[in-house]
Amino acid sequence: MSRKGNCLDNAAMERFFAILKSELFYLKQKHFECIEQPQAAIGQYIDDYNHELKTRARYCTGLRL
């Protein structure tokens, strides 16, 4: 457990959510009609993000990740 006010352990998730919001919502200016559409879009984004990390990891050494 982290102490209150220690932001360093959330840095990876904060970065991911910032990228998600900027790429999925702000840059594309998407407008969704119902709640299922953004849920599906976020799920697809997470799948693509993870697939990209796995693809990159295959071609890089551990030091370059």
Reply yes or no on whether the pLDDT at 23 is more than 70: yes
Q: Which amino acid is at 38?
A: P
Name all contacts of 29-32 with Cβ < 8 Å and 24+ positions apart. Answer: none
14 pLDDT tier (thresholds 50, 70, 90): confident
Contact yes or no for 51/58 (Cβ under 8 A): no
Query: pTM for this structure?
Result: 0.60
Q: What is the pLDDT of residues 27-62, one digit of tens each?
A: 777 788 888 988 998 898 888 888 876 666 666 655
Which residue shows structure tokens 């969704």? Answer: 32
pLDDT at 65: 47
Cβ(41)–Cβ(21) below 8 Å: no
